[in-house]
């Protein structure tokens, strides 16, 4: 495992760059070269401007396409009008424009699915955690959000035929809940090499919301250079809730949170990878019937996340997972359990499926 603090890890130049539609631009099994010509081939980008973009960790054409022009200008120091021309050239070079719904359907057939380790939970998610999307795990403390994240960070390293993504993982920990011993236990239970498993997880400990934003910005360079196939943020909103207290700061908090969430969404499209975030709940004391808890973050979180999964404790040590919002998944619910091997099917769920 390698640690990311306020500094970016030294690039290993492993992995591949994948377009938003899933097609591979530049790939060598286990190797990649970030050539200076990648950006210099664009109209209006000379060696000086290309150097400014790389210094701002904008190293691929895909990153230019999905990043707002004003943000590019602020990060690089390049004039806004010049940036607009560069973005236009980048979009033309990638052939981005109008496509038919049939073409989109065909592209989505190349979408990757990451297994959770539980057949019933995979079925709930339409086959697993999907790439090009952001999946949100919602629940109160101790319900199993972090345990699912641990399991996913291990499963993502497996080959595609075993439900994995055949790559490495970035795990952004904002609450200090990442425990390497637990990763070691799950990997050992699955008969995997625990030391190799830990080595393939890049941990970033975010100490405040500004640090969290800084680390997220690094991902556009770090992911393609290190063969990252899964990004986890646990939790997404913790720092924002603790730092922006009171209604007078709510608008500012939501604006910054919204910007951060959309950066993660752009990341999923630029590199064809899944992003999984966890979210806390807040109680409504005025509610006397039903579950008084609701997801924190308001409409900003609700609109940004592709799939929203609500978790709560069930009977006999099980957990319940329910889809509460998704453009493609029905609002079903299933049971699963947390064991020394990670996430598994609950026995009663297996019997129900067999029946």
Given a contact cutoff of 8 angstroms between Cβ atoms, the answer to whether 323 and 309 are in contact is: yes
* 315 and 251, same domain (yes or no): yes
Q: Which region among 48-52, 89-93, 195-199, 341-345 has the lowest average model confidence (pLDDT)?
A: 89-93
Tell me the HSE value of 223 on the side-chain side, using a 13 A CA sphere: 30
Q: Is 6 part of any domain?
A: no
Length of the chain in terms of residues written: 355
Distance, CA of 5 to chain centre? 18
- Rounded average pLDDT over 271-285: 91
Q: Is 4 part of any domain?
A: no
Q: What contacts 24+ positions apart, CB below 8 Å, involve 194-197?
A: 197/154, 197/157
* 162 and 87, same domain (yes or no): no
Q: What is the DSSP string of 199-228?
A: HTEEEEE--SHHHHHHHHHHHHHHHHHBTE
Given a contact cutoff of 8 angstroms between Cβ atoms, the answer to whether 63 and 18 are in contact is: no
Which residue among 106, 134, 160 closes a domain?
106
* 101 and 115, same domain (yes or no): no
pLDDT band at 61 (very low <50, low <70, confident <90, very high): confident
Which residue among 106, 122, 141 closes a domain?
106
Q: What is the pLDDT of residues 235-256, one digit of tens each?
A: 999 999 999 988 899 999 999 9
Which residue among 106, 134, 167 closes a domain?
106
Task: Give, in order, the Cα–Cα distances in Å from 6 to each of 82, 160, 168, 213.
Answer: 30, 33, 20, 11
pLDDT value at residue 346: 87
- Rounded average pLDDT over 128-154: 96
Whether the link from the prior residue into 206 is cis, omega within 30° of 0, is: no
Given a contact cutoff of 8 angstroms between Cβ atoms, the answer to whether 252 and 225 are in contact is: no
pLDDT band at 158 (very low <50, low <70, confident <90, very high): very high
Q: Where residue 307 sits, what CATH number does that domain have? A: 3.40.50.300
140-153 exposure pattern, b = at least 16 Cβ within 10 A, e = fewer: eeebbbbbbbbbbb
Tell me the HSE value of 324 on the side-chain side, using a 13 A CA sphere: 17
Question: Considering its fold, how many domains does the chain have in total?
Answer: 2
* 121 and 88, same domain (yes or no): no
Tell me the HSE value of 53 on the side-chain side, using a 13 A CA sphere: 30
Rounded to 5°, the CA angle 169-158-228 comes to: 25
Task: Give, in order, the Cα–Cα distances in Å from 83 to each of 53, 68, 96, 149.
Answer: 10, 10, 17, 37
pLDDT band at 332 (very low <50, low <70, confident <90, very high): very high
- Rounded average pLDDT over 157-181: 96
Using a pLDDT cut of 90, give the percent of the chain over it: 59
- Rounded average pLDDT over 263-270: 91
Q: Where residue 42 sits, what CATH number does that domain have? A: 1.10.150.20
* 102 and 215, same domain (yes or no): no
pLDDT value at residue 257: 94
Q: Is 14 part of any domain?
A: no
* 124 and 243, same domain (yes or no): yes
Given a contact cutoff of 8 angstroms between Cβ atoms, the answer to whether 335 and 344 are in contact is: no
Q: Which region among 16-20, 52-56, 149-153, 335-339 has the lowest average model confidence (pLDDT)?
A: 16-20
pLDDT value at residue 31: 30
Q: Is 2 part of any domain?
A: no
Q: Is 23 part of any domain?
A: no
Within 8 A by CB and 6+ apart from 224, the residues are 15, 16, 17, 32, 34, 59, 60, 271
Q: What is the pLDDT of residues 1-35, one digit of tens each?
A: 544 443 333 333 333 433 333 433 333 333 333 33
- Rounded average pLDDT over 83-92: 86
Q: Is the dihedral of CA 79, 220, 131, 347 positive or negative?
A: negative
Q: Is 11 part of any domain?
A: no
Task: Give, in order, the Cα–Cα distances in Å from 34 to each of 8, 16, 17, 222, 263.
Answer: 16, 10, 10, 12, 22
* 158 and 297, same domain (yes or no): yes
pLDDT value at residue 96: 60
pLDDT band at 65 (very low <50, low <70, confident <90, very high): confident
Q: Which region among 21-35, 45-59, 101-115 has the lowest average model confidence (pLDDT)?
A: 21-35
- For residue 263, pLDDT over 50 is answered with yes
* 286 and 325, same domain (yes or no): yes
* 157 and 98, same domain (yes or no): no
* 301 and 313, same domain (yes or no): yes
Q: Is 340 part of any domain?
A: yes
Domain that holds residue 215: 110-354
Within 8 A by CB and 6+ apart from 6, the residues are 211, 214
First to last CA, the chain: 43
Q: Is 327 part of any domain?
A: yes
Q: Please indicate whether residue 332 or residue 60 has the higher confidence score (pLDDT).
A: 332
Q: Which region among 42-56, 179-193, 283-297 has the lowest average model confidence (pLDDT)?
A: 283-297
**CA dist., res. 47 & res. 50, Å (int):** 5
* 155 and 204, same domain (yes or no): yes
Strands 16-18 and 228-234: unpaired
* 170 and 88, same domain (yes or no): no
């Amino acid at each position: 495992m390698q640690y990311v603090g306020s500094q970016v890890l030294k690039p290993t130049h492993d992995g591949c760059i994948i377009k938003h539609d899933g097609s591979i631009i530049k790939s060598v099994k286990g190797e990649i070269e970030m050539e200076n010509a990648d950006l210099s081939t664009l109209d209006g980008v000379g060696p000086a401007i290309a150097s400014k973009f790389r210094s701002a960790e904008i190293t691929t054409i895909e990153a230019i396409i999905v990043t707002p022009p004003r943000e590019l200008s602020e990060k690089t120091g390049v004039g806004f009008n010049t940036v607009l021309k560069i973005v236009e050239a980048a979009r033309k070079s990638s052939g981005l424009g109008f496509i038919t719904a049939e073409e989109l359907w065909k592209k989505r057939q190349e979408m990757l699915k990451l297994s959770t380790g539980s057949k019933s939970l995979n079925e709930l998610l339409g086959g697993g955690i999907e790439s090009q999307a952001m999946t949100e795990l919602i629940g109160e403390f101790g319900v199993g959000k972090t345990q699912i994240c641990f399991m996913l960070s291990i499963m993502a390293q497996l080959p595609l035929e075993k439900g994995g993504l055949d790559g490495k993982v970035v795990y952004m920990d904002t609450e200090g809940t990442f425990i390497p011993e637990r990763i070691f236990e799950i990997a050992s239970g699955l008969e995997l090499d625990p030391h190799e498993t830990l080595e393939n997880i890049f941990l970033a400990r975010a100490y405040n919301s500004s640090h969290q934003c800084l680390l997220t910005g690094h991902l556009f360079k770090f992911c393609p250079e290190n063969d990252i196939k899964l990004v986890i943020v646990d939790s997404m909103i913790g720092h924002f809730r603790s730092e922006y207290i009171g209604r007078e700061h709510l608008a500012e908090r939501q604006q910054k949170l919204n910007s951060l969430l959309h950066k993660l969404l752009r990341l999923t499209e630029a590199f064809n990878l899944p992003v999984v975030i966890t979210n806390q709940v807040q109680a409504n004391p005025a509610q006397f019937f039903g579950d008084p808890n609701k997801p924190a973050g308001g409409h900003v979180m609700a609109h940004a996340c592709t799939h929203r999964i609500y978790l709560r404790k069930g009977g006999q040590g099980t957990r319940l997972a329910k889809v509460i919002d998704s453009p493609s998944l029905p609002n079903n619910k299933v049971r699963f359990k947390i064991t020394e091997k990670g996430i598994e099917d609950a026995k009663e769920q297996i019997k129900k499926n067999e029946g």
